[in-house]
Amino acid sequence: MREHDLPAPQRRGRGRSRFDDDETPFLTYGRPPARTVPEDEPGPEPEDDWSSWDQAVHGPEPYPRWLVTELAARDTDLGVLKTGKEADVHLVRRAVPDTDRSCLLAVKRYRDAQHRLFHRDAGYLEGRRVRRSRENRAMAGRTAFGRQMIAGQWAAAEFAALSRLWEIGAGSGRIAVPYPVQLLGTELMLEFVGDPDEGTAAPRLAQLRPGPVQLRSLWEQLVDALVVLARAGYAHGDLSPYNLLVHAERLVMIDLPQVVDVVANPQGPEFLARDVRVVATWFTARGLPAVDTDPAALTGLLLREAGVR
């Protein structure tokens, strides 16, 4: 991960949910018509497409130096990195033709309403509300429109959480997440975490067999990250060794669409306790002393940090 010198943002008040619809108006955005290309400007090759940067909601400023923001850039899909029940993740190269300006992006594309399976969304969505009763009824009834609204909330929640955590991490160095490049509808573009030359993604924690020193270091990084999450009022909601990457000896947290507001969601403390229990079990099974990974003690600490008594 690259380091960026951003000031740590101020902690938010707890008077209202982080998922209010007026904080995420981009939920209703669709892809605008294709950009009009002047007659004297060559169009993109058939396998390429223009960068969608000018159509999307952008990540936190200042933008990382590696990020290509030029409107003349083209996005080339290099294939699927990961498939899942709710979304597929593609590897995309954004490059400015005839220059050395390029970057790799991980593009998370949520499935359409007919092919998506949000099998556990009810508990996660507590505390996230939109103002119009029609949308609330549609989401509750899981109509096609309601499922599309839910997909928008998943994408918006992940983008908002990553943006917040990126700013905190850049200032404190205590949590690492992929930089959230942009959000367009239900398509989320993220920093690619891995080897940019080979296009190889960083391994998941579950794939590693760390020695004692590395195991201890990764656990300490994880505790730091969980404390940062709790202070921001969040629980990951689905934390496991499969959504933690290890890149250049740094633990990187990914996959946050189900991020839970610990205060606004009545089940928030239970989600947080489950996150801790799952990862603590993995570290204990790999040799870390159980006294150091006590789930009850860590859960109590995190709830206090989140302001939950």
Give the catalytic positions in this structure: 238, 255
- Residues 149 and 157: their CA atoms lie apart, in Å, by 12
Cis geometry, peptide bond prior to residue 62 (ω within 30 degrees of 0):
yes
Helical spans, DSSP H, in the chain: 121-125, 133-141, 144-172, 212-231, 268-285, 295-306
H helix and E strand count, the chain: 6, 13
- Residues 239 and 8: their CA atoms lie apart, in Å, by 24
Burial classification of residue 108, based on how many CB atoms lie within 10 Å of its CB (0-12 exposed, 13-18 middle, 19 or more buried): buried
- Residues 92 and 79: their CA atoms lie apart, in Å, by 8
- Residues 170 and 166: their CA atoms lie apart, in Å, by 6
For strands 200-201 and 180-184, give the pairing: unpaired
Query: DSSP of 138-168, one letter per residue?
Result: HHHHT-HHHHHHHHHHHHHHHHHHHHHHHHH
Residue 309 CA, chain-centre distance (Å), reads 28
Burial classification of residue 20, based on how many CB atoms lie within 10 Å of its CB (0-12 exposed, 13-18 middle, 19 or more buried): middle
At residue 113, the 3 state secondary structure works out as coil
